[in-house]
Amino acid sequence: MKLALPLALPLVGLAGVAASIVNSMAGGGGFIVLPTLLGLGVGPGVANGTFRVGLVLQNLSGMITFWRRDMLDGRMAARLSPAIALGAVGGAYAATHIPGRLLKPIFGWVFIAWAIVLVVFPKSFEAPAGGPRKPTWWHDLLGAAVGGYGGFLQAGVGLPLVAFLVGAVGMPPVRGNAVKMTLVLVYTLLALPLFIAARQVHWPAGGALAVGMLLGAYIGVRLQVREGGARLVRWVVFFAVLGSGVVMALL
């Protein structure tokens, strides 16, 4: 598969940088990458798989950075990983067996739904009072559901994953973000082979994404966000999500 523009790979790399920074600040970087790949002529299924290549380096870089700063709760990540990984493998299997003509409108309507969530429930991703709770079986059920979404679509999974870790598990936002990156890395390493086996990875674009997202993670985890900066990014993500969602759902 050839990309539509001569300078497509640099554009994909830039989208990866932007997406990785957005992921570190507010989540939703996939809403930048997937429309970029689709606009350059990559099919929905291949775009969905290609995005995972960049995620490996992004989340590996972020996880190592948090670990070096002693902000990664490794025990919590290990406790939650099995259920989330199991759900992700199931979601990836479903995604690789759905025709592309059906996958694109699914992308669109899911994007529109997330745009609504960002506006209607902006505080769903804030920590409740009290410390982290000990995970129980129902946390595993919720985790498997979130993992299933991530394995199926990936774009926007940081939003329900942060809501799960911060809202349901009760982790502080920064430490929750560290665990989020670890969980995404674990299940991406398990889900990506399914997309590779289904030949749903565009390797040149995946390489460009990997370089861009690695650079974006380096910038994002070190970026000192001023008060209100995350809110600005949330609105940028909102308009990107809404616009691309309408196009994919209706065209």
> pLDDT tens digits, residue range 39-55?
888 988 999 999 999 99
In this structure, is residue 129 part of a structural domain? Answer: yes
Sign of CA dihedral 128, 134, 136, 141: positive
> pLDDT tens digits, residue range 117-147?
666 666 655 555 566 778 888 899 989 999 9
> pLDDT tens digits, residue range 66-109?
888 888 899 999 999 999 999 999 999 999 998 877 777 777 77
* Inter-CA distances, 23 with 20, 41, 73, 117, 156, Å: 5, 24, 19, 17, 9
Dist CA 236 CA 28 (whole Å):
10
Per-residue model confidence (pLDDT) at position 93: 95
Q: How many domains does the chain have?
A: 1
> pLDDT tens digits, residue range 140-166?
998 999 999 899 988 878 777 877 888
Dist CA 39 CA 142 (whole Å):
33
In this structure, is residue 220 part of a structural domain? Answer: yes
Query: 116 is written with which tokens?
Result: 């609504």
In this structure, is residue 178 part of a structural domain? Answer: yes
In this structure, is residue 130 part of a structural domain? Answer: yes
Per-residue model confidence (pLDDT) at position 98: 86
In this structure, is residue 1 part of a structural domain? Answer: no
Dist CA 246 CA 13 (whole Å):
24
Dist CA 22 CA 29 (whole Å):
5
In this structure, is residue 3 part of a structural domain? Answer: no
Within 13 Å and on the Cβ side, how many CA atoms surround 85? 15
**Helical segments of 121-172, H only:** 137-152, 158-162
> pLDDT tens digits, residue range 3-48?
655 578 899 999 999 888 877 765 678 888 988 898 888 988 999 9
In this structure, is residue 93 part of a structural domain? Answer: yes
Structural domain harbouring 88: 8-250
In this structure, is residue 2 part of a structural domain? Answer: no
Dist CA 119 CA 125 (whole Å):
12
